[in-house]
């Protein structure tokens, strides 16, 4: 069962704001704890009990949720996909995924 498109978009927008200069008094880096090279974690991450700055899903350490929403947020904020495209892409890539999802084709390249 997936979050609604509205819930997914609200999460992406919240992460976008929390990791932006507009969030005065906060210093949250827009690093994606579940992204290892071109593999996006959909379960626990290695060394997940050691806290580091960045964007985390509950599933990365002890709980069993949040990885899909973090994937959606990454697709919106880093890969630059439109909301409906990111939702469909996250659903497609997550279907049947166990530990991680390959996002190599969506990693932004620096010109």
The pLDDT score that the predictor gives to residue 97 is 86
Question: Would you say 44 and 21 are in contact if contact means Cβ atoms under 8 Å apart?
Answer: no
To the question of pTM greater than 0.85 for the whole model, the response is no
As beta bridge partners, residue 101 has 40
The pLDDT score that the predictor gives to residue 65 is 67
Question: Would you say 40 and 98 are in contact if contact means Cβ atoms under 8 Å apart?
Answer: no
29-54 pLDDT, tens digit per residue, is 999 988 889 998 888 888 777 888 88
Find where tokens 């959909």 sit. Answer: 42
Question: Would you say 37 and 12 are in contact if contact means Cβ atoms under 8 Å apart?
Answer: no
111 pLDDT band (50/70/90 cuts)? low
- Candidate from 6-15, 39-48, 98-107 with smallest mean pLDDT: 39-48
Is the pLDDT at 64 greater than 70, yes or no? no
């Amino acid at each position: 069962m997936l979050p609604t498109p509205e819930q997914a978009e609200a999460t992406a927008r919240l992460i976008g704001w929390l990791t932006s200069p507009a969030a005065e008094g906060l210093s949250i880096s827009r690093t994606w704890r579940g992204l290892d090279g071109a593999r996006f974690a959909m379960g626990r991450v290695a060394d997940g009990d050691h806290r580091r700055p960045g964007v985390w899903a509950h599933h990365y350490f002890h709980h069993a949720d949040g990885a899909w929403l973090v994937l959606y947020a990454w697709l919106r904020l880093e890969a630059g996909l439109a909301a409906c495209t990111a939702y469909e892409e996250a659903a497609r890539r997550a279907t049947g995924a166990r530990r991680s999802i390959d996002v190599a084709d969506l990693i932004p390249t620096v010109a």
